[in-house]
C-alpha cells in the first residue's frame, strides 16, 4: 500500500533568519578589515623625547617592530629574545624581503622602539645586527618634544 505524499508548506511560519545572519557576518568581516591593529604588537615603553622627531610616514609602515626595554632586553611581538635568536630572526626576515633593485640588500623596514632609560649600547647592538643582515631601512621611535 502506498503512503500518501505529504506536501511541505512553501513558507514556514515565523521569521527567516538567513538575511539577519548574512548581515551579521558581513558586519563582522567589515570591522575585522577596518580595525587598526598597527600598535597591537608594541610593548609599552617610555620613548626618548626629541625636538627633531617627525610624525610617522604611514606609507612606509614598518614590517617589524623591535623593542629595547630599560634593562636592555629585546622583544619582538611581545616575545623576549636573546641576541642569537634576534640574529636568526632578522636573517630569516631579511631573506623573505629582498630589495628588488639591489641584490644582497633587504627591503625590510625595522622600527626600533627603545626605552628612554635604556643604555644606548643596547640600541647600537640592534643597529649593528641590522647592518650585518644588510637591513638599511631602520627607524628609531621617539616622542616629539618642545621646539
Share of the chain above pLDDT 70, in %: 80
Q: In the prediction, which pLDDT does 2 show?
A: 74
For residues 38 and 60, give the distance between their C-alpha atoms in angstroms, rounded to a whole number: 12
pLDDT tens string 30-87:
888 877 665 555 667 777 777 777 776 656 655 788 889 888 899 888 889 998 999 9
Bridging pattern class, strands 64-68 and 74-76: antiparallel
Phi, psi of 61 (to 5 degrees): -75, 135
Average pLDDT value for residue range 119-139: 90
Pairwise pLDDT comparison (145 vs 46), residue with the higher score: 46
135 or 48, which is more confident: 135
Report the pLDDT value the prediction gives residue 22, as an integer from 0 to 100: 93
Asked whether residue 1 carries a pLDDT value surpassing 70, the answer given is no
Residue 128 pLDDT > 90: yes
pLDDT at residue 13 is higher than 70: no
pLDDT number for residue 84: 92
DSSP 8-state assignment for residue 98:
B
Q: Determine the average pLDDT of the residues in 92-113.
A: 85
Could you give all domains of the chain from N- to C-terminal order, each with its CATH number?
A: 49-144 (3.30.420)
Amino acid at each position: 500500500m502506498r503512503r500518501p505524499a505529504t506536501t511541505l508548506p512553501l513558507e514556514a511560519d515565523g521569521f527567516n533568519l538567513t538575511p539577519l545572519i548574512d548581515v551579521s557576518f558581513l558586519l563582522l568581516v567589515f570591522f575585522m578589515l577596518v580595525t587598526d591593529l598597527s600598535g597591537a604588537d608594541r610593548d609599552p615603553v617610555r620613548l626618548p623625547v626629541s625636538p627633531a622627531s617627525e610624525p610617522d610616514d604611514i606609507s612606509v609602515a614598518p614590517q617589524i617592530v623591535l623593542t629595547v626595554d630599560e634593562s636592555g632586553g629585546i622583544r619582538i611581538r611581545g616575545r623576549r629574545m636573546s641576541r642569537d635568536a634576534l640574529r636568526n630572526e632578522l636573517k630569516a626576515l631579511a631573506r623573505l624581503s629582498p630589495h628588488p633593485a639591489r641584490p644582497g640588500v633587504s627591503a625590510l623596514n625595522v622600527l626600533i622602539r627603545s626605552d628612554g632609560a635604556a643604555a644606548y649600547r643596547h640600541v647600537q647592538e640592534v643597529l649593528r645586527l641590522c647592518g650585518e643582515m644588510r637591513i638599511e631601512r631602520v627607524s628609531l621611535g621617539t616622542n616629539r618634544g618642545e621646539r
